[in-house]
């Protein structure tokens, strides 16, 4: 059961758990603010929300990734560097980071967002990651914020093949299937909830084998999440695109 709207209690154990996952000490009030979506703020008397921190974190994220890519890839031209940066800071990539942290359970959302699957929305998850980076900068300084960024995106930064997968996972999975002489991926999508608040679940299959699963508040986002899951499993294990 989501706990994200309940951590104003003494000791804030939920915040302690998130701090541990982040690996950095962030001021509890700033961390709470970073987790506060505008929908929650508006439903609770116009409280502050995380969009200013998101603005700050976006700048820090971009700078940290740009500097690391520049230093680590002296042979890449400006266009290639820009493409790689775009994939690392994309909403899909940041949402993947958020899911790895289990960030959805900590979000403070309004009732409307709660009912429409806000804890799985790519945009909300990605924006919250940026807000947490901003909160880290204000709490612990530039070096700590940069270190957090690089730690969070290290799976992408250390594996060049994942740049394209994070930016366009469906194309990456298709290309992987082609390379391994397997049939094109087939997506199966189901939805739950009323028409105005559907949550989509996708399974992608190659050669009849279930290879990846994903959820989202649109068919497109669910399929992208499933494709990235399948691509990651196949490349991490070195197995077939079918995950056999």
pLDDT at 118 over 80: yes
| Of the candidate ranges 18-22, 25-29, 124-128, 228-232, the one whose mean pLDDT is the lowest | 228-232
Residues 88 and 174 in one domain: no
Distance CA 133, CA 155 (A): 17
Residues 40 and 83 in one domain: yes
Residues 229 and 118 in one domain: no
Residue 129: burial class (beta carbons within 10 Å; 0-12, 13-18, 19+): buried
Distance CA 51, CA 34 (A): 8
Domain for residue 138, yes or no? yes
**Position 233 confidence tier, pLDDT thresholds 50, 70, 90:** confident
Residues 173 and 196 in one domain: yes
Residues 38 and 102 in one domain: yes
168 annotated ligand-binding residue: no
Residues 126 and 210 in one domain: no
- The whole-number pLDDT of residue 11 equals 44
Residues 189 and 151 in one domain: no
Last residue of a domain, one of 159, 188, 217: 159
pLDDT, one tens digit per residue, over 166-193 is: 678 898 899 888 888 889 999 999 998 7
- The whole-number pLDDT of residue 163 equals 65
Residue 91: give the domain boundaries.
12-159
Domain for residue 3, yes or no? no
**Position 18 confidence tier, pLDDT thresholds 50, 70, 90:** very high
Pairing status of strand 209-216 against strand 199-206 = antiparallel
pTM comes to 0.73
Count of other CB atoms within 10 angstroms of residue 161:
11
Residues 51 and 150 in one domain: yes
Residues 74 and 125 in one domain: yes
127 annotated ligand-binding residue: yes
**Position 10 confidence tier, pLDDT thresholds 50, 70, 90:** very low
pLDDT, one tens digit per residue, over 58-113 is: 999 999 999 999 999 999 999 989 988 988 898 878 988 998 899 999 999 999 88
215 annotated ligand-binding residue: no
Residues 29 and 109 in one domain: yes
pLDDT at 148 over 80: yes
Residues 190 and 142 in one domain: no
Residues 24 and 113 in one domain: yes
- The whole-number pLDDT of residue 59 equals 97
Residues taking part in catalysis: 58, 130
């Amino acid at each position: 059961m989501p706990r994200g709207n309940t951590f104003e209690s003494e000791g804030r154990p939920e915040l302690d758990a998130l701090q541990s996952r982040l690996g950095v000490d962030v001021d509890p009030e700033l961390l709470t603010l970073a987790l506060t979506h505008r929908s929650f703020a508006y439903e609770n008397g116009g409280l502050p929300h995380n969009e200013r921190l998101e603005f700050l974190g976006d700048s820090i994220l971009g700078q940290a990734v740009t500097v690391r890519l520049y230093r680590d890839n002296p042979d890449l031209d400006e266009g290639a560097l820009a493409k790689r940066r775009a994939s690392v800071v994309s909403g899909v990539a940041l949402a993947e980071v958020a899911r790895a942290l289990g960030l959805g359970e900590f979000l403070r959302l309004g009732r409307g967002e709660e009912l429409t699957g806000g804890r799985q929305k790519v945009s909300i998850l990605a924006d919250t990651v940026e807000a947490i980076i901003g909160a880290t900068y204000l709490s612990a300084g530039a070096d700590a914020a940069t270190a957090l960024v690089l730690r969070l995106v290290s799976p992408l930064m250390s594996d060049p093949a994942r740049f394209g997968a994070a930016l366009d996972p469906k194309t990456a999975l298709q290309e992987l299937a082609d390379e391994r002489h397997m049939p094109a991926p087939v997506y199966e999508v189901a939805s739950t909830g009323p028409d105005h608040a559907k949550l989509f679940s996708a399974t992608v299959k190659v050669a009849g084998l279930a290879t990846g699963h994903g959820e989202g508040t649109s068919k497109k986002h669910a399929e992208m999440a499933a494709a990235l899951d399948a691509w990651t499993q196949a490349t991490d294990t070195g197995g077939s695109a079918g995950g056999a």
